[in-house]
Chain A
Amino acid sequence: MIDPQFVRALIHRLRTPLAVVTSDLEYIDKKFPEATADRTLRNTKRIADVLSSIEALLDAQSLAAVAAVAAQFSEITTTSLSAHSWSWTTTPYVLHQSFEGIFLKDALARLGAVLTESAEQTGQVSVTVSVARQP
């Protein structure tokens, strides 16, 4: 399981230099519009979004909260969601090797969820997640 404290400390350490880069890029973009810093700015925003998604997964307390973060990932599609069950499809790579899959599964493990996956002919994998009802 991922150590949340380590991840949070790492993210915190990254945010300040990222703020310097973003601020400088905004300065360049405003002062020298021809420098096309806007593309670089968009990409620093992507980095910031990744950090925010990871933090949101570390904070997630329910299936719905995890599914809400997953909705921001481009290769994950939710097919059904309830308080105790969440079904979604993705690629085997995303599920097993990408940071999205790693942090998603870690968040679900902290919720005590059970994952079942079934390969599909389209090259996709269907995942069903269930959590026990509270007594």
Chain B
Amino acid sequence: MAHLKSADKATATQHILLVDDDSELLLSLTRTLKEYLPDIAIHAAGTSSAALSLAREQNVRLAVVDLELDSSVGTASGFDLISALLQHDPHLRIIVLTGHKGIEYGIEAMSRGAVSFQEKPPSVANLATLIKEFLQQRFLTEHLRQQQTARTETLLESFLATSKRSQRLKDELLFASATTQSVFLAGESGVGKSLCASLIHKMSSRNQKPFIRYQPSFLSADLVSSDLFGHKKGSFTGADTDRTGLIAAADGGTLFIDEIDALPLETQVLLLGVLQERRFRQLGSNEERSVDFRLITASNACIETAIQDQKVRKDFYFRIAHHTISIPPLRERLAEIPFLIDQFLHAGIERKEFSVCRIDARALLKLKDYSWPGNIRELQAIVEGAAYRAQFKNRFEILEEDIHLSGESSTNMDDDISREGSFQEKVLAFKKKLIREALARHGGNQVQAAKDLGLDRSSMRRLISDEL
């Protein structure tokens, strides 16, 4: 019953248009359809020009169109009217009602954008049902579109402030979400590339399907290919079981590969093939599978240099960078800091981690004076750390003293090293200093920091968890 009610609501006070060169038929159909569709305003037009005028004036949502409106040009008059009506309103539903039978007429009408092809004489009861269904379909489509737009705007508003640079980024993200092209996100560490990729996915038509994030790090080509393509048991040393792989997991959705310059060249070749053919094969398998995913990649490295250094294949880059979005560093959008702080504090309160909701003016000035090498990720870490300190001191407001910037920390670390203690304690303090500095240089990115220090990822993780 709820469905029927919504159908009635969808058809209420809507306008439809009947177009036929036979005035007798127009009079008869209008009168009979009115009996079946009492809530709908029915307009009638005997010529194409009258039909177009009514469509413009009356916000017509559906048109029933004859094909032979002008006997001097035959069916071309009806086909041209379909095109003209749809040019005026691409969402208009058009039902063709004609005395011309023949599949060629039906194909032409549908290819012009008509949604149904009916022969004369119609059953008016059936025609009325068809009109109701198409009006409801249009109502639901528009409702869904409005909801998606509202959702998209909310997502963007919650992520980006209103500065000019952010507006440009918003526009680019919106454009990317409306297309199916591969997107390449460029920007320093910590500027929010992952968040942008996730936003593009959430705003796209793929948002009901998975968003799979992958960072190849510095793994071997076998391992990366296995992560992406999956493998059959025994396909290489260490492949003890079958594995599905992330490409299959992203089917229908979005695959986001961060630090694309760390993707082994062999894997780039394989991935290029998948992007071109939309088919892939698990390692060790002869069976090809079709797959449909949208690829978003990102890198904080200069991609031109990566191509010159032969870390990224040129043909691969051209395939993954149909649309490139450069995300500006935080130091170029310092005006957004208050907005971002507000977002981080609200998010922390929602997660019930702290109840600090304000920042003092001097504390804010201190944050605005900083150069933010670690970008938004660093800002988030510092604001959240400050909020915890404020909370510890039973305050709802962050003060200047709660803010510990990277430069200040390093002074404390130097103190730790020069302080009296055992050799082991001093070595530990020195390790802490090196790690903190590397993390600050790379915006908190552990993989980059590890690479910088010449450590492998697991050693880096152990040091961070044990000692920081």
Contacts and interface: CB of A to CB of B under 8 A. Distances in A.
User: A14, A16, A31: which has the most chain B beta carbons within 10 Å?
Assistant: A16
Contacts of B28: 19-20, 23-24, 27
Interface in B91-121: 97, 99-102, 119-121
B99 A16 contact: yes
Contacts of A44: 121
Contacts of A27: 28, 31-32, 35, 124
Nearest to B66: A16
A18 B100 contact: no
Given A18-B121, A23-B124, A48-B121, A12 B25 contact: no
Interface in B110-154: 119-125
Interface string A10-50: 01111111111111101100110000000000001000100
Contact of A15 (B24, B31, B32, B120): B120
B29 interface: yes
B99 A26 contact: no
A13 B22 CA distance: 11
Nearest to B97: A19
Question: What's the interface size class on A, roughly?
Answer: 20 to 34
A117 interface: no
B100 A12 contact: yes
Given A11-B99, A20-B22, A26 B119 contact: no
Contact of A23 (B99, B100, B119, B121): B121
Given A19-B120, A48-B121, A24 B32 contact: yes
A72 interface: no
Contacts of A23: 25, 28-29, 31-32, 121-122, 124
A18 B105 CA distance: 20
Contacts of B35: 27, 30-31
Contact of B25 (A14, A20, A52): A20
A111 B217 CA distance: 70
A59 interface: yes
Contacts, number: 66
A106 interface: no
Main secondary structure of the interface of A (DSSP, over half): helix
Contacts of B124: 22-23, 26-27
B287 to A, nearest CB: 38
A36 B123 CA distance: 17
Question: What's the interface size class on B, roughly?
Answer: 20 to 34
Contacts of B97: 19
Contacts of A21: 121
Contacts of B102: 55, 59
B122 A22 contact: yes
A63 B328 CA distance: 71
A16 B123 CA distance: 13
Contacts of B99: 11-16, 19
B404 to A, nearest CB: 80
User: B28, B100, B122: which has the most chain A beta carbons within 10 Å?
Assistant: B28
A23 B35 CA distance: 11
Nearest to A48: B121
Nearest to B23: A20
Contacts of B29: 19, 23
Contacts of B32: 23-24, 26-27, 30
A46 B29 CA distance: 20
Interface in A44-77: 44, 48, 52, 55, 59
Contacts of B101: 11, 52, 55
Contacts of B121: 15, 18-19, 21-23, 44, 48
A91 to B, nearest CB: 29
A19 B31 CA distance: 13
A17 B124 CA distance: 14
Contacts of B31: 23, 27
A16 B100 contact: no
Interface string B35-72: 11000000000000000000000000000000010000
Contacts of A12: 68, 99-100
A27 to B, nearest CB: 4
Interface string B311-351: 00000000000000000000000000000000000000000
B116 to A, nearest CB: 16
Closest 6 CB pairs of A and B: A15-B99, A19-B121, A22-B121, A15-B120, A23-B28, A27-B32
22 contacts: A12-B68, A12-B99, A12-B100, A15-B119, A15-B121, A16-B20, A16-B25, A19-B25, A19-B97, A19-B121, A20-B22, A20-B24, A20-B25, A22-B121, A23-B29, A26-B124, A26-B125, A27-B28, A30-B35, A30-B36, A52-B119, A55-B102
Given A30-B35, A30-B36, 5 more contacts: A11-B99, A16-B120, A18-B120, A24-B28, A30-B32
